[in-house]
């Protein structure tokens, strides 16, 4: 299975973000002919106030981002793991940070709401309070992509190994992590954590990032990018350069089987209360 990771620099102009996402996906399709494409976290809208996020969110199924993704998947016969987009939640002031997956016919295949909220103060003093605008999900989600079981996670989820063990327990052979990792944390933790999650779950770990600057109110924030594919042995087999673009790689399910046969960690797990 060939995968393509789309690296974007989204902002608070939703139509521009959707146009950029479509153009990058179509370029990757033309040049690489992937089976599966992954977009980054909140590819449809980054920054803005809660009111602006609400205005940009969509009631699923439906909305311009959802329709665009369906059309690209159906027109090109490709799976799209739509990073995450802002989902309207009925009766809730906050929105959800939601992955939606489409099959080659443009049919919705899976939906995952980000579980762990990024409520931290970064080393540069910037404060992030994601839970003020976004409601966390609570479901562990996998789906079948033509014989490959794919697990779903988003950005800050990366720091919580229990989620990835749960995905492995559900049969994941590949885990997708769309993200908007900050520059401050990404430069020190991104690759280390991505490789660790691949090694401990013995899966392909496919991490797709936002890159560059965006505005949050009057404050400029910077995301790390460096989208990458890590194999089950922990090797980085593909990595995006700085800036907007994409990277492609091949996923080999047999590689997962061989690694798990060499070091059968799933058989050696001890459960602790």
Could you tell me which of 241, 41, 60, 54 has the C-alpha nearest to residue 158?
Answer: 41
Average pLDDT over the chain, rounded to an integer: 97
Model-wide pTM > 0.85: yes
Measured distance CA(56)–CA(133) in Å, rounded: 13
Measured distance CA(251)–CA(171) in Å, rounded: 16
pLDDT given at position 266: 95
Measured distance CA(273)–CA(268) in Å, rounded: 16
CB 197 within 8 Å of CB 161: yes
| Active-site annotation holder among 38, 155, 194, 202 | 155
Q: Is the pLDDT of residue 167 over 80?
A: yes
Cβ atoms within 10 Å of 234's Cβ, excluding its own: 16
pLDDT given at position 43: 98
- Beta-carbon contacts of 192 under 8 Å, excluding residues fewer than 6 positions away, are none
pLDDT given at position 245: 98
Could you tell me which of 135, 126, 110, 34 has the C-alpha nearest to residue 76?
Answer: 34
| Active-site annotation holder among 41, 58, 87, 202 | 41
pLDDT given at position 273: 77
**Going by DSSP bridges, is the β-strand pair 236-239/79-88 parallel, antiparallel, or unpaired?**
unpaired
CB 209 within 8 Å of CB 179: yes
pLDDT given at position 216: 87
Percentage of residues in the chain having pLDDT higher than 90: 94
List, for residues 237-267, the tens digit of each pLDDT value.
Answer: 999 999 999 999 999 999 999 999 999 999 9
Beta strands across the sheet bearing 95-102: 108-113, 95-102, 79-88, 36-38, 2-7, 245-250
Q: Is the pLDDT of residue 268 over 80?
A: yes
List, for residues 126-159, the tens digit of each pLDDT value.
Answer: 899 999 999 999 999 999 999 999 999 999 999 9
Mean pLDDT of 12-25: 98
List, for residues 70-100, the tens digit of each pLDDT value.
Answer: 999 999 999 999 999 999 999 999 999 999 9
Mean pLDDT of 183-190: 96
Question: 191 in helix, strand or coil?
Answer: helix
Distance of CA 121 to the CA centre of its chain: 22
Q: Is the pLDDT of residue 217 over 90?
A: no
Q: Is the pLDDT of residue 20 over 90?
A: yes
Residue 155: active-site member: yes
What are the tokens at 151?
């697990």
List, for residues 55-73, the tens digit of each pLDDT value.
Answer: 999 999 999 999 999 999 9
**Does CATH place domain 2-263 in 3.60.110.10?**
yes
Residue 2: active-site member: no
List, for residues 25-45, the tens digit of each pLDDT value.
Answer: 999 999 999 999 999 999 999
Measured distance CA(173)–CA(245) in Å, rounded: 26
Band (pLDDT 50/70/90 cuts) for residue 122 is confident
| Active-site annotation holder among 58, 87, 114, 202 | 114
Mean pLDDT of 222-232: 97
Mean pLDDT of 223-247: 97
Measured distance CA(148)–CA(244) in Å, rounded: 28
Band (pLDDT 50/70/90 cuts) for residue 123 is confident
Q: Is the pLDDT of residue 270 over 80?
A: yes
What's the farthest any 2 CA atoms get from each other in the chain?
A: 52
């Amino acid at each position: 299975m060939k995968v393509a990771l789309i690296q974007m620099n989204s902002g608070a102009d939703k139509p521009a973000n959707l146009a950029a996402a479509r153009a990058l996906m179509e370029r990757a399709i033309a040049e690489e002919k992937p089976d599966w494409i992954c977009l980054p976290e909140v590819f449809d809208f980054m920054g803005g106030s809660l009111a602006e996020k609400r205005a940009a969110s969509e009631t699923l199924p439906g909305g311009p981002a959802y329709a665009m993704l369906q059309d690209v998947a159906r027109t090109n016969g490709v799976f799209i793991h739509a990073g995450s987009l802002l989902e309207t939640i009925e009766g809730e002031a906050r929105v959800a940070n939601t992955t939606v997956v489409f099959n080659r016919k443009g049919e919705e295949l899976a939906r995952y709401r980000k579980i762990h909220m990024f409520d931290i103060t970064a080393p540069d003093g910037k404060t992030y309070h994601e839970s003020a605008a976004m409601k966390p999900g609570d479901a562990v989600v996998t789906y079948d992509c033509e014989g490959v079981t794919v697990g779903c996670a988003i950005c800050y989820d990366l720091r919580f190994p229990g989620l990835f063990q749960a995905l492995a327990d559900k049969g994941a052979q590949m885990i997708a992590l769309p993200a908007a990792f900050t520059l401050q944390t990404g430069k020190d933790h991104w690759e280390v954590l991505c490789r660790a999650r691949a090694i401990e779950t013995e899966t392909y770990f496919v991490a797709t990032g936002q890159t560059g600057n965006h505005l949050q109110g009057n404050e400029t924030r910077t995301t790390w990018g460096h989208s990458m594919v890590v194999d089950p042995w922990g090797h980085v087999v593909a990595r995006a350069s700085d800036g907007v673009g994409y990277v492609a790689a091949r996923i080999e399910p047999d590689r997962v089987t061989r690694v798990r046969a060499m070091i059968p960690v799933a058989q050696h797990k001890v459960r602790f209360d």
